[in-house]
Structure 1
Amino acid sequence: MATDYDAPRRNDSEELAEDSLEELKAKRNDAQSGVVDADESEMAENFELPGADLSGEEMTVKVLPKQADEFTCSKCFLVHHRSRLAEERGGQLVCRDCAA
Structure 2
Amino acid sequence: MATDYDAPRKTEDEISEDSIEELKNRRIDKSSGIVDVDESELAESLELPGADLSNEELAVRVLPRQADEFTCGRCFLVHHRSQLAKEEAGQLVCRDCAA
Structure 1 length normalisation: TM-score? 0.42
